[in-house]
Every structure is written in C-alpha cells, then in structure tokens.
Amino acid sequence: MATSFRTFLFLLQLLLFFVASSAEANDPRETYLVQMKVGGHRYGSSSGHQELLGEVLDDDSTIEDAFIYSYSESFTGLAARLTQSECQKLRRRREVLEVSRSRDLKLQTTRSWDFMNLTLEAERNPENESDLVVAVIDTGIWPYSEVFSSDSPPPPGWENKCEDITCNNKIVGARSYYPGKEKYKWIEEKSVIDVTGHGTHVASIVAGRKVEKASYFGLAEGTMRGGVPNAKIAVYKTCWNVIRLDGTESQVCREHDVVKAIDQAILDKVDIISFSQGIKYTQLQEDKISWAFLRALNNGILTSAAAGNTGKYHEVVNAAPWVMTVAASLKDRFFETKLELEGEDKPIVVYDTINTFETQDSFYPLLREKAPAELIRKRELIAESKIHPISSNDENDEGKDVLVPFSKIKLLDKAIKERAKGAIVLGKELHDFNETKKLQFPIASIFLDKLKKAKLEKYYRKHQGKGSVKIHKTEEIAREEGWVPTVAKISSRGPSCDKFLANILKPDIAAPGLDIIAGWPENVNLLSDDVPSNGYRHLRFNIMSGTSMACPHATGLALYLKSFTNSWSPSAVKSALMTTSTEMTDEGNEFAYGSGHLNAAKVLDPGLVYETHYQDYIDYMCKQGYNTEKLRSDAGSDKIDCSKTEIDPKADLNYPTMTARVPLDAPFEEIFRRTVTNVYDGESTYRGEINYRGDKDFDNIIVDPPQLQFSELGQTKTFTVTVTGTSKPNWKAGKAFMTRNTWLTWTEIDGSRKVRSPIVIYSVKEPEACSLIPKT
C-alpha cells in the first residue's frame, strides 16, 4: 500500500513537472532588468527605452507585450519581458551594460517601544512628526484599521496619490506594482489592500496611531502605537500571493517591482524608506536594489532594512554601507505556556506556543492509543483520516482532545468541525520551530518537541496510564531584573561575503523583533499557512517575529530623531542611532548585532556624529576597484571616473564602526582614520577610551589625539585609531579570529555624552555560503 501510494505521488509530481514545463515552453519570456550605460546614446529616456526594445524584439513580439517599466531615479535602464534571443541581442548593443533576470525577494518576517525607552511620556515634536512621510515597501496596507487615522493634514506640498483606496490624513500615498506579465496564477487582484498582514504590521510599528487596550486575545495588553504616531505613511505594494507553475501557493516580491517602487518613493520625496525584504547570496555588482537605495540617499532619504532571518554567519542581506541594516533582538518579556501535570510539582513549560484560550477548568485523564507514542486525553472528539487514523480506543467515549503529530496537523480541520476542545501537538525533533515562529492553533493547544514529549510520556508511564493534565493559557512573563538585550537566534549575521564590504561591520544595529504585537487586517487569518484554518477568529492585532519587525523599529526611531533634526543628513541620523545604542553581551559578537541595541533615551543628544556622504561612497567603491563604467550606471552619474584612483583593499569609510579583515594567524596593524562632527550647540571636550569585555584579543590600541575639544556647533575633528596584535584563532572552534567586545568610547569630560564605536578585526576562511554567490 505504501509503495503504491509513493508511486502515485511520483507520477503526480512527474505529471506536474511536464505540465509546468509545457506551460513554460509555450511562454518562453522571463522578466529582465536591462541596465544601460550613462550618456553617449539616445536611448536614455522612457521613449528611448521603448525604441531600443523595438529594435531587438523578435518578429512575433510587440513593445506592449514586452515593456514593463522605465526607471528615472533608482536605476539606469528598464524592465522588460524577453526571450533568450532578445536578451542576446540586447547584450550585444553598445548602449547596454548588462541584462540580468529579475529575482525574487523574501519578506524577512505593545511594549517594544517602551523597551527601547521611547515611552508615551517621551519628549515629542508632534507638528514636525506630522510633516514626515515614511515609505513602506511591502505587501500593502489595511487602510480601514483605526491605527491608520490621523487628525493632522498631510505635509505642506505633498500630493496625495492613492490607488484603489481613498487617501486620508495618515495614509498619504498608496501604489501597487503588479507583475501581471509574469507566469503565475494570481490569487489577488491588483490593489494596495494587504491580504497577508505583513505590510500592515510593519507600517503600524513605524507610524501607527495610539490605540488603547490593544491586545492579542488578552496577551500583551496595553497601548499599541507606532514609534512616530503622528507621521504619515506612503505605501508601495510589491509583494503578491500567487500560485506557481508547480501548483504551490507562495508570495512573490519581484526585484524589478521593488526598484520601481524606490524610483517612485524618490520622486515622492519621502523622508525615509522602511524595507523588510531581502535577497540572499547577492553582491553589490548585481544588487540593483542597494544601488537604488544609494540614489535615494543622494536625495536625502535614509533606508532602514531588515538583516535577514537565516540566523547564519555570512548571510546578512541589505549590507550596503549606505543602508541601515537592522538585526532582531529579544524583548524584555517573553511568552510562556504550561502543560500542568496532576500530582507533579513542575509543569512542562514551552516557549514556542501561543495558546490564547483560557486555562482549562480541570485536569483530564490521559488514555493510551494503540500506537505507543500517541496519547489521548479524555474530553471531546477525535479526528479521523483514511490515511492517518486518529481514533478513540473506546467507541463509547463521548469525545476526546487528541494529541497528534505535527506532520498530521491538517487533521485538526476535521476536529474543529466536530467541536474538539483542545490538542497536544507533537514534534519529532528537538526545537522543531525556531523562536520566530510561535505556533498557534485554532483550539486550546500546546506544542511539545521531542524532549518535552519524552517528559509527558515519562509522566504517563509513571502513573500507569492514569495521569491527568491541564493546558494553561499563555502568559507574558517579564525577564529578570538586570537582563541585557540579546540578539535573536534567527537574525542573519555578518560578515558579508562581498569583497567590497569586507571592511564594513554588518548588521549596523539591533531592535526588538520577536513577539511584536501590531496592526493586522481583520480579513486575514491570524494563523500561519501550515496549520488548519481558523476562519472564525479575526482580530485587529497580531503577533509576528523576524527582522521584518525589527526594521520598522529602527525606521521609527530614525523618524523620531528627524522630527527634531530634520536638517541632518541620512548618515548623521544613522550615526546617532548607532553610537548611542546600548551595549549587548551576546556570545554571538558584533557580527550578530552591530553597534548594539537601539536606545531612544539618548538618541536626541548624541554629541558627535560620523558623517558619510554620497561622494564618500563613490570614492570608496573606486578605491575598492569597482569598474568605472559599471559604477556610473549603478550610481546614475556620468561624472564618476575611477581611472586615476589608486586601488586600496584597505580603503575605509568614515563609518561609526571600525572593521578590518586580516590574514589568519599573522601579526596585524590596522589604522582607522575618522572625522566626527559636533552636533551640540556649545563647548565640549571628549576623552577617547578603549574598553573591552572578557579576553583581550589585541596587543595595543592607540587613539591619536586622545582628546577632542569643540567650541561651536558643526565643528569637525579628525583622529586615528591604530590597532596592533596577532590574529591567533579564537573564534568558530579555532578556525577564525576576532577582536570581540572591544570598542572606542568618546566620553565627554564634565558631561554625560558618550559616543561608542565597536572595533572589529577579524580573520575567516571563505565559508560554504559565500561559494553560492556568483563570481563576477
């Protein structure tokens, strides 16, 4: 029987493969980004792009079928649906720099603001806040939520532009980028309405209006609000639900759509971009989105972006130095769910389940199933399937709560219809689900991994099959006093595999990203797709986790700072967030969390900032050996010329952190040259101090000069930091080296300001993850 069923599955997969292959053969076009050279030809405008396209199309093709977008601000070129022969023709054109396939991006999916010290009582500038606009490039928005309302008008000079919905005083822009020419079956219509919840959640974290008595079925009850509740939101929807050629349902976020959204955000003159998406295994030479963010920066727009959710070293995304890359941290509270065992002092406690149903009113006896590993508690009903039966051992029982393997979780659909009251769900592995995914089920439930399941079975054997249990409602627990922020295990880490970014510490900063309660579309299921549906439970708020949630916290704090200092450059805002951050103590080191944890209590008065401007990034890329013609097109300027720049692999930026890669097991001397700008309106003197925690991983660090004296606002001072030592293996099981938990702090003499910058010297062998990046 099992063999014949597997054969059937194989034949079905084979049939699907041939159907998909046949469909692809009938439509050989793919979406490409065509990057043009800057200047020297007549094809630089939208009409020029279409003229060029018309010259290379096959005989049976039309411009209307092929052309998608022309870009004016974020990218030098166009997007089009092309055949292989048309691609080859374009690549041979002297006006074309390169033709690359548009790639898929992935979404990097209360009291979190209080935890960052941005409380309801914090100093505010509501009038200036209401003049700020955040661009949220995501899955759209649920405009009917009360969190997206405002009493103040749009910013002066702002032109409301909303597709499919009516703009209001909070949502002042809403556009969608519908990849209708792609080879998918569309589940949703072209609209800015959010049908997944991700974009609504992100937007409400940044700028949601204050809503009192918000909670998730009584959990995390309090006042829900965004970091800048008076700011405005411009929505750019680039992610869509589709059915792929193989029949699977998924979410698609296409690269060319994102670039177009950035293009429009620049034209709209937004104040900041919040971007909770990313592409793994890419580098700057191929990353059209990161270069679009540099163009945004050249227009005074800072980008805050998610670091990624793989939890692995060398897999940080959005790592360009002009982007603020945000890691995810834990909050000062966590969710705890208990399975109480009658007659035992200690319950089974889990942290990966959220049970919003009330604690059961009594203990219920456990009954053994035919299969020894599966237990049944006597209460209300059993679900049943022809392939995987889950049935009672007593036909006369009126009902049960069933304990089922997670692999058979879809059976709960039937159990719900039969009025089941609860379930204990079993996993086969230790820690089946990482901390980003809190399992929720449509009935009172608790999830037990392999270790916790063994405890339950031990209890069952001890009581000879007569034990009883009680599922408790999840509780929110405060961490112990003195707890220091910790980076989430799922947050992607540096260093970047990109050779151009070897001397840049990424991520830049950490922000709350786990168990975040925020706005949610009331028409969207609260549960994830891998558990049975729960159509009758909808709510205005939901709990989500990931760097997708950390990113808007950093976006919100940057906007909060801009409401007081709107004339500051993007790099000054980013520097202030980084140098005033709270020190973190994770074993994971700075490649997990960057400068530290965001701290709103100090960000308005950083004292000194590290400024890095557009031209500094261009000069840096030239010194790193970036091709002049490619750089002109990527940055969108024909004035760039790297030919006279001496290549220097140790080239550095005026960055708030100091990082260098060195050979392993060898002496090193690294010199960092930095310039700081005084942003305090008065006289001040700072003393440079080197601090480290734990083992000393260097021989000596010299700061020259050791003191900096300022007499006026805007004054600059330059200093050097020289680090010497030997890169003896001390990291990654003796296979790498790193100066861990070491930093320079400029401490104000007779004052309270401190400007902290991590110092990271490291040696690593190229990991397997880096080999996945195409070499160029």
Catalytic (active-site) positions: 138, 198, 548
The residue length of the chain stands at 776
User: According to the 3-state scheme, what is the secondary structure of 221-246?
Assistant: EEEECCCCCCCEEEEEECEEEEECCC
* Residue with token string 């400029």: 746
CA atoms 570, 575, 580, 582: torsion sign? positive
Angle at 232 between CA 227 and CA 238, to 5 degrees: 95
Q: Give which of 472, 469, 473 is closest to 342, Cα–Cα.
A: 469
Task: Find the helix packing angle between 288-298 and 255-268, rounded to 10°.
Answer: 0
CA dist 325 → 276, 552, 581, 584 (Å): 10, 11, 14, 17
- DSSP symbols for 389-441: ----S-TT---EEEEEEGGGGGGHHHHHHTT--EEEEE-SSTT-S-TT--B--
Report DSSP state, residue 647. P
Note if the bond before 663 is cis, omega within 30 degrees.
no
Helix (H, G, I), strand (E, B) or coil at 327: strand
CA dist 5 → 1, 16, 387, 744 (Å): 6, 16, 10, 64
Alpha carbons 39 and 628: distance in angstroms, whole number: 13
Beta-sheet pairing, 700-704 with 667-678: unpaired
757 DSSP β-pair partners: 744
Note if the bond before 705 is cis, omega within 30 degrees.
yes
Q: Per-residue b/e over 366-385, b at no fewer than 16 CB within 10 Å?
A: bbebeeeebbbbbbbbbbee
Quote the tokens at residue 678. Answer: 């005084």
Alpha carbons 772 and 765: distance in angstroms, whole number: 15
CA dist 257 → 104, 161, 289, 399, 479 (Å): 10, 18, 10, 52, 42
Alpha carbons 689 and 701: distance in angstroms, whole number: 10
Beta-sheet pairing, 77-82 with 67-70: antiparallel
Alpha carbons 760 and 744: distance in angstroms, whole number: 11
Beta-sheet pairing, 211-216 with 219-224: antiparallel
Quote the tokens at residue 277. Answer: 């998406």
Quote the tokens at residue 666. Answer: 């060898």
Amino acid at 158: W
